[in-house]
Copies of this chain bind each other. A is one copy, B any other.
Amino acid sequence: MANSASGDSVVDRVVRVIEAFPEGADALQLSELAERSGLPLSTTHRLVRQLAGHGLLELGVGGNVRLGLRFWELVSRNSPALALRQAAMPFMEDIQQVLKQNVNLGVLEGWEVLFVERLSRRGSVANRARVAGRMPVHISSAGLALMAHQPQTVQAEYLTQFHDPAGKVTAGVVRQMLAETRRQGFAELAGVVDPDTWGIAVPVLDGGKRAVAALGVVVPLAEVRLQALVPALQTAARGIARQLAEPGGFRSTESV
């Protein structure tokens, strides 16, 4: 009953608060935030007020809280995500204008794909990928493209821990999909994400042939022209890779 009954530091708690915002929710009640973050109401209240004081959170009328523009600004302006995005955007737009369909760009984060950018025209087919959203590796073409071009050790580790909550897919199946993806140089996933759509993705490779990102499209199942599509994607991916190689470009996560 003193400094932190739960034994975590102030930083931990701030992170808890930020992480408590569920994806897609724009505003939360203070009490709800407290519950979600697992912190006492008093503590949450104090932290929120402090963060709001810096503009990182914005306080609405009745104690409702949302993330502030300032926070987005601070974090975005130096994020590797932005650098990657900037390098890729022109190529993504080219692809999109030719195909008139969804284009997306993802990176590997944990054992999931994190989508950094998505272009979708009105009228294009549904696309589950959301900007700053995640998807499991094994049910997204971008995920397969990324994982198939990771070092063997990483792939092995991924397959070891792999577990499908639905219990439908086994690690063996995923291994085969990865092998096939690697062999082809691109990933395809028909009707998995959505019954009527086809996902296709190619890796963006760095100097060491490691995938730092994946460039993908989602097209209607009917009109798939792989012969035209894949080369276009691969060309774009090379362009992105070249752009990244330039000074100040994006480097993949090289943690300690």
Contact = CB atoms under 8 A, between A and B. Distances in A.
Interface stretch (A64-72, A135-143, A190-198): A64-72
A254 B73 contact: no
Interface string A5-20: 0000111101100110
> What copy number does this chain have within its complex?
2
Given A26-B83, A119-B93, A122-B90, A66 B54 contact: no
A44 to B, nearest CB: 12
A73 B95 CA distance: 25
Interface string A91-128: 00100110000000001010000100001111000000
Interface of A: 9-12, 14-15, 18-19, 21-26, 47, 50-51, 54, 56, 58-61, 66-83, 85-86, 89-90, 93, 96-97, 107, 109, 114, 119-122, 130-134, 248, 253-256
Contacts of A254: 58, 60-61
Nearest to A85: B131
Given A10-B11, A14-B14, A54-B12, A79 B90 contact: no
A58 B255 contact: yes
Contacts of A18: 74-75
A96 B14 CA distance: 40
B81 A69 contact: yes
